[in-house]
Structure formats: structure tokens, C-alpha cells
Amino acid sequence: MKKQLGMKYLFLLIIMMIYAAACSRTADLRSPVERIPEEERTAADQILLGARQEVQNRTRYDASYVALSYPGGDVPADRGACTDVVVVRALRKAGFDLQVLIHEDMTAHFPEYPALWDLTRPDPSIGHFRFPAEE
């Protein structure tokens, strides 16, 4: 009886080892979007990958004011606050520059934007980071 039980366990162990070996060779740990060939990825795929990259970068939260170049300005890559960490950088990965889009709209329609920050004109360093400007 003991010998039969031992053989069953040995057989199960061998099956599990074969399965584990097969899985380790075929396992693809990339996300479903990362498995899409680059030339077939949509803008939404690129935005998702950009946001994921920011999370993986472990960006340090820092909400201090930084004068940015325009267009394409950004705070140092290792820090950011709210919108710039995920939205601005993720959108840029997909080819959309929120800094330019909002600044151009604020320049053309400044009186229509909420007067919440005592601004007398659009500021390309912060306008695209503020949620009411994005509404």
C-alpha cells in the first residue's frame, strides 16, 4: 500500500514538473496591449502603455511650480503631480500634446476659462495641469 501511494505521489510530482517547465517556456508576462504588434497599436493602446510606464517609473509626487519650455515642456522625469504623471505623459506617448492643445485653446478663449488662479493670461507651464482647464 505504501509503495502504491509513493508511486502515485511520484507520478503527480513528475506531471507537475513537466507542466511547470512547459509553462515557464511559454509564459508571456506582458499585458495584452503589449502583445499587440507596434504597427497595429491604436492611440488608446499607446495612451495605456504610457500610463503604465509612468506607474512603473515610480514617479515621485512633487506639486511645486516649474517653468516649462513650450511646446513639449515637462518637469523632470522622476517627479510630477497628478495630471502630468499619468495624463500628459501618457497622451504624449500617443502623439497628443495636452500642453499645446489646452494652451492654444486658452489663448484663443481665455475669458471663457474659470478665473480660479488669478491669471491674467494663459500660462503654458500650468494651464494643462489644472483640472478645471481640462473640462
Please tell me the predicted confidence (pLDDT) of residue 27.
57
Indicate whether 12 belongs to any domain.
no
84 assigned to some structural domain: yes
Residue 15 lies in a domain: no
**Residue 61: which H helix or E strand, with range?**
strand 60-61
Q: Which residue has the higher pLDDT, 81 or 37?
A: 37
Predicted pLDDT at 122: 78
Residue 39 lies inside a defined structural domain of this protein: yes
Q: What is the mean pLDDT of residues 117-134?
A: 64
Q: How many Å apart are CA 35 and CA 117, to the nearest integer?
A: 43
In a domain, 83, yes or no: yes
Question: Is there a contact between 44 and 69 (Cβ–Cβ < 8 Å)?
Answer: no
Q: Which domain holds residue 52?
A: 32-134
Tell whether the model's pLDDT for residue 12 goes beyond 60.
yes
Q: What is the pLDDT of residues 30-71, one digit of tens each?
A: 788 888 999 999 988 888 888 888 777 777 788 777 788 888
Count of the separate structural domains present in the chain: 1
List pLDDT tens digits, range 15-28: 666 666 555 555 56
In the prediction, which pLDDT does 37 show?
93
Check if the beta carbon of residue 100 is closer than 8 Å to that of residue 71. yes
What are the CA-CA distances from residue 19 to residues 27, 29, 125 (Å)? 12, 17, 55
